[in-house]
Amino acid sequence: MTLLIRSQAERTAPPARRRRRLSSHSLMGPVMAAPALILLAVFLAIPFLGAIAMSFYRLQLNSTRAPRFIGLEQYSRLFADPDISAAFLHSLGNNFTFAAVVVPVQTALALGLALLVNGKLRGMAVFRTMFFMPLVFPLALVAVVWRLIFARDDHGLLNSAISLFTGGSVGPHDWLGSSATAMGAIIVMSIWQSVSFQMIILLGGLQAVPHDLYEAASLDRAGRWSQFLHVTVPGIRNTLIFVALLTTVFSFRLFDQVYLLGQSGSVDIESTQTMMYQVITTGYDQNNIGQGAAMAVVFLVIVTIVAVIQRRLVRQEGSIR
Amino acid sequence: MTRVRSIKRSRLLSGTGRYALLVFFGLIFFVPVYYLLVGSLRPGDKVLGGLSALVPSDLSLDNYAGVFNRFSNDTTGYVWQFAGVSLAVTAMVVLGGLLVNSLAGYALARMKWRGRNIVLLLVTIMTIIPFEAVALPLYYMLSGQRNTLYVQALPFLANAFSIFLFYTYFLSIPVEVEEAATIDGAGPVRTLFQVVAPMSLPAYATVAILTFLGQWGQYLWPVLMITDTKLRPLPLELSVFQNAQPPEWGPVLAFGVLFVLPVLVVFLIFQRSFVASVASSGVKG
């Protein structure tokens, strides 16, 4: 994600020679950057190093026992201690399932929707407004509304709709409570809330594609589909990559919906818990901060690996082009 | 002529099929919103009534009155209190964030100083670290500051991603504009706020909107840090409220509307510029 942004930034950067002329205030630079940098150090960099340090200790809040150094034990437990590793590995798997579905589906859907709302059409403003509305919904509220939509028995909106369309032949289903559909329900919920964000970014990309390219293509008798493949997709390639990377990083942070629904007892925990859910329940709910910190470190390593792999893939593809 | 062609070009589908899809997706996006609004106006026992819950009958403001009645003493807290906390924290984060992040973005984009490249690299790396990964150590480090207002805002003021958005935007502005100001004797802070910032409204708007939405819905950090009812922001109180037994769905939905309606109204008014600024941030990076 960041590398992509950087390379774009460098391309638009003015030549270094010019920039130097503005740089007489050599002390002002660090002074102006200082507030943000100090805050970032205190609230991001130091806690990040703190997480690594804490993961080597047995640590509890408000405990009379002093922190005890236990080396790599927390890490080995994540993979060997049956009490901890089963839930942890399960969460890890759930994270990958979520990302594997959400990243391609949401990106493709966002592109489809962006194409759909691109261009002028009577009433388009109304449709766009409807599409964008979920964006301002905080996840705490999304969880409330969808909990009612997915409610078990025939009082749930979804069950009631299904029963109407099938003439009552399909009975009610406990969407969130059943292990078979719980993750699917969370996926639908989270795509509903955030797909328009990706759609807006792609819409911006679509509108930046030079118009004469389409004119040239239609002179060449290219059909709509072939224009899409040979003009639109290459034209928004960078935006598309940006959106996919963004979605991937976000998909690994899945926490709010799962935790909110978990607290209410309406969701099947085992099939929906994620790494972040494990980190918080272990560290906060069970007051086992060292173990939670170890999970957070593993979580971060995995997020970084995924980001790096994606970047590699993207770069290779770029060099072929 | 060109306009006709541009309409033709931009669609893969013919008019009718396109409208059908627009209506289909429009409903998917809108029905849950509508469900929330109608449900908040209907008797609590009719909120969970299958499809009949969508029929706007028996409308009244009782649920809203119920919310204000329920949160009417010091033990339960007050609605205005939750809203006040959310507003105060969000305002601090948005305004403070615009200030410190744009200053840093400017210093990185336009000024030369020792260590600038290393700082740029570190900021880049920090955009990958999600807050969730450091939430637990922060909770441990700041456990003495639990149940305060400022601890809800402080960790979110500086944001590596916002710094980056400002940095890239400032780079795209022609340097000549600022040279005139520099020749006139303006220092970098004055140049930033009097010359560069007015030209960078899309960047400021994007950062403001994204920060606002993120902060208004902030849930994880208050869960860890806030137990005092007086200092609960709206998302935290909503989750406490929805888990009350037995759940009072009518008032819960009314509370949800109070939570999102101000944002929704502002969004509807500024929709065009909202979409434009977010879109431009994506294209520019």
pLDDT tens string for chain A (321 positions)?
A: 444 444 444 445 454 444 444 445 578 999 999 999 999 999 999 999 999 999 999 988 888 888 889 989 999 999 999 888 999 999 999 999 999 999 999 999 999 999 999 877 888 889 999 999 999 999 999 999 999 999 988 889 999 999 998 988 888 999 999 999 999 999 999 999 999 999 999 998 998 888 888 888 888 888 888 888 888 989 898 889 889 888 988 889 899 999 999 988 889 999 999 999 999 999 999 999 999 999 999 999 998 888 888 878 776 554 433
Q: Does A122 touch chain B (CB under 8 A)?
A: no
Q: Does B278 touch chain A (CB under 8 A)?
A: yes
Global ipTM: 0.90
B chain contacts of residue A276, beta-carbon cutoff 8 Å: 132
* Contacts with A, B 173-232, CB within 8 Å: 174-175, 178-179, 182, 187-189, 192, 213, 216-217, 219-220, 223-224
B chain contacts of residue A18, beta-carbon cutoff 8 Å: 175
Q: What is the pLDDT of residue A5?
A: 46
Q: Does B17 touch chain A (CB under 8 A)?
A: no
- Chain B: nearest CA to A308, how far in angstroms? 10
Q: Does A191 touch chain B (CB under 8 A)?
A: no
Q: Which DSSP string do the residues of chain B spell out, in sequence order?
A: -HHHHHHHHH-SS-HHHHHHHHHHHHHHHHHHHHHHHHHHTS-GGGTTSGGGGGS--S--SHHHHHHHHHSEETTTEEHHHHHHHHHHHHHHHHHHHHHHHHHHHHHHHH---TTHHHHHHHHHHHTTS-HHHHHHHHHHHTGGG-S-SHHHHHHHHS-HHHHHHHHHHHHTS-THHHHHHHHTT--HHHIIIIIIHHHTHHHHHHHHHHHHHHHHT--HHHHHH---GGG--HHHHHHHHHTSSS--HHHHHHHHHHHHHHHHHHHHHSHHHHHHHHHHHHHH-
The parts of chain B modelled with pLDDT lower than 50 are: 1-4, 6-11, 285
Instruction: Kindly report the pTM of this predicted structure.
Output: 0.89
Q: Does B138 touch chain A (CB under 8 A)?
A: yes
| Best of A25, A27, A141 to mutate (most B CBs within 10 Å, chain B) | A141
Q: What is the pLDDT of residue B282?
A: 60
B chain contacts of residue A61, beta-carbon cutoff 8 Å: 140, 143
Give the one of A20, A29, A133 whose C-beta lies nearest to B33's C-beta. A133
Q: Does B284 touch chain A (CB under 8 A)?
A: yes
- Chain B: nearest CA to A235, how far in angstroms? 11
Q: What is the pLDDT of residue B1?
A: 43
